[in-house]
Amino acid sequence: MPRGASVERRILYFLLALLLAGAILTGRFAWLQLVQGQQLKAKAAVQLRDTKALQSPRGTIFDRNGRELAISSLSKSLYANPQELDKDAGVLAEMLSPILGMKAADIKERLRADARFIWIKRTLDKEQAEKVSRLIKEQQLKGFGFIEESKRYYPNDTLAAHVLGFVGTDDAGLDGVEMVLDKTIKGELSQQIVETDSYGVPIYKSIFTFLPRKEGKSVLLTIDNTIQFIVEQSLDRVMARTKARSATAIVINPRTGEILAMANRPAYNPNRFFDYGPAEWKNRAVSIIYEPGSTFKAIVAAAALQEGVVRPEERFQDNGYVEVSGRRIKNWDGGSYGNIAFVDIIKNSINTGFVQVGMRLGASRLNDYARAFGFGKATDVELPGEEEGLLFETANMRASDLATMSIGQSIAVTPLQLLSAVAALANDGVLLKPHIIKEIRNPDGSVVSSVATQPVRQVVSAETARIMTGMLEKVVTEGGGKKAAVKGYRFAGKTGTAEKLRSGGGGYEAGKYIASFVGYGPVDDVQVAALVIIDDPSGVYYGGEVAAPVFSEIMTQVMRYLNIKPLPGFEPIAAPRPQDKPAAETVGAASPPPPGKVVVPNVLGKTIREAADSLNKLGLAINPAGTGIAVKQSIPANTVVDRGAEVTVWFEGR
């Protein structure tokens, strides 16, 4: 065969092979494109996309007047792919550290992770995000990106922190209302689709596709932002003044059970909750128990009146002490008052009188009333960590237990329990369930549910409550609660001074006391009730000296804020301020005082009882501080003052 024909044949075979290969490729392409096209497209989408679940913004928390207490906003979170970094991890860490406020070593450790996606920092603030974006652009850094997430923000910082609680980085409520209503407030999960390469690495600057985000429901609290602010300012001042270990105050509407303010010191900022610890996070208003001391006497007196075992005008014999089962119980001032009316036993908080009243009631009835007033059981307020308190089991009570319980010792209550119980006296004897949630609302503002006033039970009759209110008013106008007086308004209340229980039980802390005052008013039309507790103040520790002035300070401002008009011409006894100096002149002991004036006697070295007798005979009031014998008096001896003036006398142990 000629050589030329052989070459032509080979070319023909080659061309036929090419045509066959082309036909096969064309057929395969047509098969993939036309027959399997949609299936393969879907498969590729699955392989080249990563779906991330993102939390929608939480609902807003408002105060009762619609002012924002907690809000959510979208914030950028910084992530990185350590496999695509084009600079040393240590160098990058040093660049990012001052911007993010993180240790360079921590950032370096994350950037060296054997992973393709790691978080560097979640929910950056706006300034941080802008600085990091600028750094990435200027340094042309590879391997970094942002994803938007929801961030919780508390515009008032520490205000109502213990009520609100806080939210963790995964948008989970970790304390307070945020925790209790987490499922309600929390928005729904949304899906974010991220384009990736064949290795699953995100393609930066790709278009993110979001499913619509559905915001969580909003909450309207019973808290009043302004009253809360008033209370917290007052606690700040008393903490600075007394150097106390802690302080708590609650304000409630006794007609509805709505909590208008709840505050504790020490406080914390929920925007930076991680800078604090459990001691600061703790809501002492519901999560501590303490001996109520003399504030509990209001409950004992109400039970005794209701049961008819005592009459307001009935007189008792006080010898300064009473012995029960070998245990001697003395009055707080160490003195005796002799023959004294029941109303004065309440006014002067006389222990011996209350022991006698408690004995008349008996263990069973006293315990029954304590439980009826809400002690020994959680109030079920919408806050986490609420304690139940401690009461005796009636069957196990000894006579000495009954005696100590009658003066507010050997039992333990929460602050909210005590305030709720006393508020029942302000509410015609009806105990209400306290609540801090007013309404739940949809994102469009429509109301999902609202919390109504919830009566628990009629504890005492309206008449008994009225009589008790009159007696408790005398505590403020004539007794140990004078410094709780609110000028222009009639208030009722009770002081309390209790030894502090050791943490974990086992007796008392030596020299440690809890001073308190609980009260309500105006008594002619009660609008508010409040409790103030000062834990371990330095110096003077009596409730009438430490807590009562804080109550007065809070209520004075609250009356103005609520626009409650003062009674015309009504002037309750004004508590002297430390900076006040009496308008008086010192004269010789032999000089006769002008009409309407008296000469202050020298009471140094006398007991409280002796000093009180000396001053009262001249028409002067005594404001005792401490116990023992008199070592100092606010108005020097031989000073001429108006009849009715008050003399503060400091006493120290013998």
Type of residue numbered 151? K
Stated as kind and residue range, the H or E segment containing 229 is: helix 225-242
- pLDDT of 316 higher than 80: yes
- pLDDT of 333 higher than 80: no
CA separation for the pair 298, 312 (Å, rounded): 13
Residue 13 has a pLDDT of 74
Tens digits of per-residue pLDDT, 566-592?
988 755 444 333 333 333 333 333 446
Pick the CATH number of 51-220 from 3.40.50.1000, 3.60.60.10, 3.90.1310.10, 3.10.310.70: 3.90.1310.10
Three-class DSSP category at 106? helix
Q: Cis (ω within 30 of 0) for the bond into 82?
A: no
**pLDDT band for position 543 (50/70/90)?**
very high
Residue at token pair 């000062």: 534
Q: Which of 294, 349, 406, 634 is catalytic?
A: 294
Query: What is the pTM (predicted TM-score) of this model?
Result: 0.74
Tens digits of per-residue pLDDT, 419-463?
999 999 999 999 999 999 999 999 888 999 999 999 999 999 999
Residue 384 has a pLDDT of 96
- pLDDT of 267 higher than 60: yes
CB atoms within 10 A of CB 295: 29
User: Which region among 73-82, 361-370, 606-615 has the lowest average model confidence (pLDDT)?
Assistant: 606-615
225-273+291-561 folds as Beta-lactamase (3.40.710)
Q: Which of 316, 506, 259, 300 is nearest to 405 (CA)?
A: 300
- By the 8 A CB rule, do 481 and 497 touch? no
More confident residue, 212 or 517: 517
CA separation for the pair 414, 287 (Å, rounded): 7
Where b means 16+ CB within 10 Å and e means fewer, 226-261 reads: bbbbbbbebbeebbebbebbbbbbbbbbbbbbbbbb
- The per-residue pLDDT of the chain, averaged, comes to 85
Q: Length of the chain in residues, anyone?
A: 654
585-652 folds as Trypsin Inhibitor V; Chain A (3.30.10)
Distances 356 to 345, 471, 498 between C-alpha atoms, Å: 11, 18, 20
Indicate the pairing of strand 646-652 with strand 621-626.
parallel
CA separation for the pair 68, 46 (Å, rounded): 42
Say whether 294 is catalytic: yes
